[in-house]
Amino acid sequence: MTTRQLPLDGLKVVELGQLIAGPFATKLLGEFGADVIKIEPPGTGDPLRKWRILEEGTSLWWHVQSRTKRSVTLDLRTEEGQEMVRRLAVEADVIVENFRPGTLEGWELGYEALAAHNPGLIMVRVSGFGQTGPYRNKPGFGVIGEAMGGLRYLTGQPDEPSVRVGVSIGDSLSALYAVIGTLLALQERQRSGLGQEIDVALYESVFAMMESLLPEYDATGHVREPSGSALPGITPSNAYRTQQGDYVLIAGNGDSIFKRLMQVIGRDDLAQNPAMAHNDGRSQHAQAIDAAIEAWTQTRERDEILRLLEEARVPAGYPYTAADIANDPHYLAREMIQTVTRADGRSLKVPGVLPKLSATPGRLGQGGPPLGAHTDEVLDELGIDTETREKLRHAGII
């Protein structure tokens, strides 16, 4: 029995980025078959190796972000290191980088320089503000993109300081757009034979998620404000306190769903009120509707609330912790809790692969590689002999 190839088998990707946005994009490409060669600084490696919670000196996050990659150490500030990148670029399909705009050009590794020797090369460039415009040279991490993109202003309670989402969502959204751009460019290359640059900005990736924020302002002058756990203009959709003091999330904003929800909580008067038959009318009475729902949830424990709402086909849930996720039967049934093996043989639970393809599902791979674990292997593939590699290693270039 033969195993079907993964969709991106045979695709060679060189990752010149670090931390989150670029490396998350290459992780996704690697999960579907791409050979991802991750370039890291000798001695230190990607700073993500030391981010968040460490175990025996290595970030646990590292085993998610780099689980499909080969690690090559290379000092890009040296002529020899830059020459190795040029040699890799000749054979590469895709280069992903998230340096500040102009950095690669300063090393003569910009797109035009590399594409001159490989016209089919695709270069994905992820930065805070994009490759053009008056802000292009500003440093920009995900949180700044989230702020400029409009998300940070809306996150939190009214009249209180804004809060950030608890993960690097701006970087991750940018990574998704980087992957979409890569796949589009690969499709175009099949027709033209030519590669292209893909310019992804963190703030734009966030801004693209902001739904009707801009047209509402343009047409009416309305500036959307933070609203806590509610979703303004979509009613009811909120968090409601239970008898135990924790919260359930209830989304009863469909017209028929709203009626069923009101019947469950004993408010048939609201279910039959013509003024609340549709969302635009309900949104004018959001405060009263939320109060009615919470008056009911505060008399019951969470599990009973969820059971009653499930029976009535009303979408409801509660905020999951990591412990909830790790032990949830649905996560387990859909294979979203997977295990990788680290270099020392120990296992580690990590998120599964998305999206789910029926015929060619993605691969998980091993845990994140030790720093430089594949340097000799990759340089050997480039035809760099052992003696030359030893000289590069002695000079601290690899």
Give DSSP secondary structure letters for 86-103: HHHHHH-SEEEE-SPTTH
Domain assignment present for residue 326? The answer is no
Are 146 and 107 part of one and the same domain?
A: yes
Instruction: Answer left, alpha or beta for residue 245, where phi above 0 means left and psi between -120 and 50 means alpha.
Output: left
Are 336 and 190 part of one and the same domain?
A: yes
Point out the domain boundary residue: 317, 341, 357: 317
Are 181 and 309 part of one and the same domain?
A: no
The dihedrals phi and psi of 36, each to the nearest 5 degrees, come to -100, 120
- Look up the CATH number of the domain holding residue 51: 3.40.50.10540
Containing structural domain, residue 297: 237-317
Chain mean position to CA 253: 28
Domain assignment present for residue 134? The answer is yes
- CB-neighbour burial class of residue 161 (10 A; exposed 0-12, middle 13-18, buried 19+): exposed
Q: Quote the CA–CA distance of 255 and 234 in Å, as a whole number.
A: 11
Both tokens of 68, joined, read: 């499909």
Q: Give the model's pLDDT for residue 141.
A: 87
Are 302 and 157 part of one and the same domain?
A: no
Domain assignment present for residue 217? The answer is no
Q: Quote the CA–CA distance of 205 and 125 in Å, as a whole number.
A: 13
Domain assignment present for residue 5? The answer is no
In this prediction the pTM is 0.93
Are 37 and 162 part of one and the same domain?
A: yes
Q: Quote the CA–CA distance of 11 and 186 in Å, as a whole number.
A: 10
Instruction: Answer left, alpha or beta for residue 15, where phi above 0 means left and psi between -120 and 50 means alpha.
Output: beta
Are 21 and 125 part of one and the same domain?
A: yes
Are 94 and 148 part of one and the same domain?
A: yes
**Into how many domains does the chain fold?**
2
Q: How many helices (H) and strands (E) does the chain have?
A: 19, 13
Q: Give the model's pLDDT for residue 2.
A: 44
Q: Give the model's pLDDT for residue 108.
A: 96
Domain assignment present for residue 225? The answer is no
Which of the residues in the chain have pLDDT under 70? 1-3
Active-site residues: which are they?
Answer: 171
